[in-house]
Structure 1
Amino acid sequence: MSSPKIRSVSADLQKSAIEELNEVPERIGADIEALRSWIKQQPHLRARDDDQFLLSFLRGCKFSLEKAKSKIDKYYTLRTKYPEFFGAFDADDASIRAVINAGLLLLLPKPVNEDGPRIILVRQGALPADKYTIEHFARASSYLQELLIRDDDYAMIRGIISIIDVENCTPAHVMQMTPSVMKKFSIHAEEAVPFRPKQQHFIHTPSGFETIFNVMRGLMTKKQQERISVHADKLDKFYEKVPLRYLPVEYGGDNGTIAEIISHTNKQLDENREYFKENKNYGTDESLRLGKPIDFDNLFGVEGSFRKLEVD
């Protein structure tokens, strides 16, 4: 068996992968090949199978082959069924660039403590609600998620910290987050992407936010609920988790300016234009799935739950 074509990581990251993710360096090639072989045996599934991509799913599933199979299946199943939410096919999509250029989604350059979890800052009110839809926001997220899966060892090994700044949120922004939308986000985050969310912080929350948020919380899994912290005016406890210096300059930190981060993200999209076009070649065909096809009409009912996919 040839050596896997994967990036080398620092000694500290490799130590974390071994101790926290059950990674056995000598077995990586065999684990990747086992996952690739399974993909080839699924008539309904067309998935990327390069070494680094598959390694990210294995790491995100702590090297449980069965969990990695399930996540890859759901990753492409949801993308195929709901491309308006999870499709990442055209890096020049004007609606995606508008979300990026407004700074709604920011991947901060330095992880916490320099070698810890990757930080994602969401500035939900950065663009007026009538200038974009929640589908645009979700799709833009999918582009950045795929870049993290492919390129970011800190995100895949150390995990992710999400910060949602709702200071400039209006009722129109809140109304976009319907129960159906929340269900899609929740299921996709928990069941389809190979990330290890460490913390999620809502900051600058207005009076009455928790009342609204408690309704949204009920649509999340227990794990997701446990990761969430809500901060109003006082951010002392937040800074204990995410020191101020790891926020953008505009927030009082030194982790890049918002303009710099936006410019870098646009450059990433430009450089990966062909890569995203290739995504049109991947997906699922439920008519070819072994066993019973998925009943999508009942998958995302407001009161329903995502039934486990049958994975061979």
Structure 2
Amino acid sequence: MAVEKGDADFVSKLNEEEKKKAKEELHELNDKDREGAVQALRKWALEQDWLKTKTDFEFLLRFIRVRKYSQLGARETLENFWTNRTNVPEWFKNVDPADENIHKILRLGMVYIPKGYDKQGRKVIFSGMDGFDMTYMKSKEGQDLIYKTFCLVCDWLTLDEKAQVNGVVFVSDYTGASLDFIKYWNAELEKKLLAYLQVNVGFP
């Protein structure tokens, strides 16, 4: 096993009901098994000379859970995670959550996530097009910024333990979406986004 100092410091934020759900649906039996699974994935990752990845406990745990404790599945998802970032670098390089341009996209209401959870412990994601500034869709730079923002939000969500176990709810409101929106919506970028979601984001 590959042990790091921070392993022992990890404390799950799940309540008892969520721990039971993790056991029944994700095969997460107890703290010891969780720690062993993460360390086994880390050991494999460190043995891959070509794979340059973070190996902290919280980061690797998301790959274990999304594949329901399958080591082979977790390895595949971790590989795809970094391959996807290599294939679409403009969405993942130099991403700063404090960037005013990203804040501008968020203020448009394209993606909004309340701080809390619903009654089933799920994160709720709201997406709206009313008031959406179509000028962002008329250039590749603007389109990349929109997708960069969306991927940043999704990456943040995948580190949320409750979302890993309970899942998320996505509510989309297309009120106010015009024909211009459809005209400038890039099918090629949508294909790239779908690939990202398939290999990087997995919720129950």
Please report the TM-score for the alignment, with normalisation by the length of structure 2: 0.85
Equivalenced residues, count: 194
Q: Per the alignment, do residues 70 and 77 of structure 1 end up closer, same or farther by CA in structure 2, a change over 3 Å counting?
A: same
Q: Which amino acid aligns with 1:144?
A: V
Gap runs ≥5 in structure 1: 198-312
1:30 matches 2:56: no
| Aligned equivalents of 2:179, 2:29: Cα separation in 1 | 49
For 1:22, give the aligned amino acid: H
Tell me if the contact between 1:39 and 1:47 (Cα under 8 Å) persists in the aligned partners: yes
> How far does the alpha carbon of each residue in 1:224-262 deviate from its partner, in whole angstroms, 9 at most, with x for none?
xxxxxxxxxxxxxxxxxxxxxxxxxxxxxxxxxxxxxxx
Of residues 161, 169, 176, the one that matches 2:177 is 169
Q: Which residue of 1 aligns with 2:155?
A: 146
Identity %: 22
Q: How does 1:106-121 map to 2 (within 5 A)?
A: 106-113=112-119, 115-121=120-126
Residue number among 157, 167, 173 corresponding to 1:159 in the alignment: 167
**Where does structure 2 lack aligned partners over 5 or more consecutive residues?**
none
| Structure 1 residue aligned with 2:146 | 137
The equivalent of 1:105 in structure 2 is 111
> How far is the alpha carbon of 1:87 from its aligned partner?
4.2
Shift of 1:139: 0.7
> Which structure shows the bigger proportion of residues in helix conformation?
2
Aligned equivalents of 1:149, 1:88: Cα separation in 2: 20
Taking structure 1 as reference, are residues 187 and 103 closer, same or farther at Cα in structure 2, changes over 3 Å only? Answer: same
Deviating 4+ runs (over 4 angstroms)? none
Please report how far the alpha carbon of residue 190 of structure 1 lies from its aligned counterpart in structure 2 after TM superposition.
1.2
Larger Rg: 1
Match of 1:58 among 64, 82, 95: 64
Q: Does 1:178 align with 2:186?
A: yes
Q: TM-score, normalised by structure 1?
A: 0.57
Say whether residues 1:67 and 2:73 are aligned partners. yes
Amino acid in structure 1 at the alignment position of 2:174: V
Separation (CA, whole Å) in 1 of partners of 2:155 and 2:113: 13
CA distance in 1: counterparts of 2:132 and 2:118, whole angstroms:
27
Question: Is residue 109–residue 129 contact of structure 2 (8 Å, CA) maintained in 1?
Answer: no
Provide the aligned C-alpha RMSD in A.
2.0
Alignment of 1:1-312 (within 5 A): 3=8, 5-25=10-30, 26-87=32-93, 89-113=95-119, 115-131=120-136, 133-150=142-159, 152-193=160-201, 195-196=202-203
CA offsets 1:44-94 (integer angstroms, 9 cap, x no match): 222121111111121111111111111111111111221223446222333
